[in-house]
Amino acid sequence: MSTDIQELDSKHHFFLYRRYPVTLVRGEGSRVWDIDGNMYIDALAGIAVNSTGHCHPRVVKAVQEQAATLMHVSNFFTTPPQAELSERLTSLSGLDRVFFCNSGLEAMEAAFKFSRKYGNNKGRQGDVLSMQGCFHGRSFSEIATGAAKYQDGFHPMPPGFRQLPFQDLDAVRAHIAGANAVVLEPVQGEGGVRPFDFSFLREVRALCDEHDVLLIFDEIQCGIARTGRMFAWEHSGVKPDILTLAKALGGGLAIGAVVARQHVADAMEPGNHGTTFGGNPMACRAALANLDVIEEEDLVHRAAEFGGRIMQQIRDRASDEPAIKEVRGLGMMIGVELAFDGTGIPREMLKRGVISNCTAGNVMRIVPPLNISEEDMNTVIDVMFECIALERVKHHASVTGQN
Sign of the dihedral defined by the CA atoms of residues 314, 317, 322, 326, in that order: positive
Establish whether 247 is a catalytic residue.
yes
Q: Are 175 and 146 in contact (CB under 8 A)?
A: no
Establish whether 114 is a catalytic residue.
no
Q: What is the DSSP string of 184-208?
A: E-SEESTTTSEEPPHHHHHHHHHHH
Of residues 127, 218, 241, 376, which has the active-site annotation? Answer: 218
Q: Report which secondary-structure segment, H or E, holds 256.
A: strand 256-260
Sign of the dihedral defined by the CA atoms of residues 308, 312, 313, 315, in that order: positive
The dihedrals phi and psi of 260, each to the nearest 5 degrees, come to -145, 165
Distance CA 326, CA 337 (A): 5
Of residues 196, 247, 306, 376, which has the active-site annotation? Answer: 247
Q: Would you call 46 exposed, middle or buried from its count of C-beta atoms within 10 A (0-12, 13-18, 19+)?
A: middle
Three-state secondary structure call for residue 83: helix
Strand 128-131 relative to strand 181-184: parallel, antiparallel, unpaired?
A: parallel
Distance CA 135, CA 149 (A): 11
Q: Report which secondary-structure segment, H or E, holds 325.
A: strand 324-330
Three-state secondary structure call for residue 55: coil
> Of 193, 160, 156, 214, which is closest to residue 44 (Cα–Cα)?
193
> Of 129, 133, 167, which is closest to residue 148 (Cα–Cα)?
133
Establish whether 100 is a catalytic residue.
no
Distance CA 338, CA 321 (A): 10
Go through the chain and tell me how many residues it has.
403
> Of 277, 278, 306, which is closest to residue 51 (Cα–Cα)?
306
What percent of the chain is helix, strand and coil (3-state, nearest 5)?
A: 40, 20, 40
Of residues 112, 114, 135, 231, which has the active-site annotation? Answer: 135
Residues with a catalytic annotation lie at 135, 218, 247
